[in-house]
Amino acid sequence: MKENPRMVEPIRINRYLASCGLGSRRSCEAFIRSGLVKVNDKIVRSLSVKINPQDKVEINGQILYPLKKDYILFYKPRGFLCSKTGLIGERTIYHILPPSFQKYFYVGRLDKDSEGLILLTNDGLLANKILHPKFHIPKTYLVSLATPFDENSKKALLRGMYMEGKIAKVQDVQIKEKNKLKIILTQGIKRQIRNMLSILGYKVTRLQRISLGPLTLKGLYIGQYRRLTKKEIDLLYAAIEAAQIKQPNSI
């Protein structure tokens, strides 16, 4: 078997399958346990198997190769779900993205009523790192409220509150105008900003993510996308390595 030019060292089989675009490492583990994967013509079910550059890996008779990694910066509009399936009648981000992106992971989910920066990629390993609890990549948001915001509420956001069994708090809050905030998060709790502000009695009228680590929306209009430059990819990996901080205390 000819060596795979995109591999430089042995890697675990679930990681290899993820690099071939079959999904997350967890979903790839299901393929392995089901006996769908062959290595050098032999069915493997063990997750401890490592793949070498010269190995032949198949699923359902199709030989697999790691994909060329692709990284897309997308300005998600309001009114679209971050979902690959969605509900009947609901629009997802994949309805407005090219067919070639349909199998890409979205990194940094935004709810239907929010807008802003999302990273799309076929690099399952990077996606897992960004989403893993120990890699807290800073995300910056501009938030508009229906009513004026006060300093006591700012202190409450910074101090934190219990949500989903964790102490939810923001990394930083800046009051830009009486009802407009700039908020930085390093946690990944679902609808964190909206729910924290709701607990304090505020209604969010607009929520826009403007950055994810070193990546920003600069130059993008609503609904537009572009590929990351090599420099941006390098900066993103550097940010991941620098962001290995301890998880917040849980209850």
How does pLDDT run across 176-204, given as a tens digit for each residue? Answer: 999 999 999 988 888 999 999 999 999 99
Residue 158: its H or E element: helix 151-159
Catalytic residue of the set 55, 111, 113, 172? 111
Is 111 a residue of the active site? Answer: yes
Residue corresponding to tokens 């981000």: 93
Which whole number is the average pLDDT over 128-146? 86
Q: Give the count of beta carbons closer than 10 Å to the beta carbon of residue 31.
A: 17
Whole-model pTM: value is: 0.79
Per-residue model confidence (pLDDT) at position 3: 53
| Overall domain count for the chain | 3
Q: What is the mean pLDDT of the chain?
A: 88
Q: Which domain holds residue 182?
A: 139-212
Residue whose tokens read 């990077």: 126
Query: Is there a single domain that holds both residue 77 and residue 58?
Result: no
Q: Are residues 86 and 149 in the same domain?
A: no
Q: Which residue has better confidence, 5 or 238?
A: 238
93 and 120 share one domain: yes
Name the pairing type of β-strands 139-145 and 204-212.
Answer: antiparallel
Q: What is residue 19's predicted lDDT score, i.e. its pLDDT? A: 82
What is the CATH number for 41? 3.10.290.10
Residue pLDDT, tens place only, 49-97 = 999 989 999 998 899 988 888 999 999 999 999 987 766 778 999 999 9
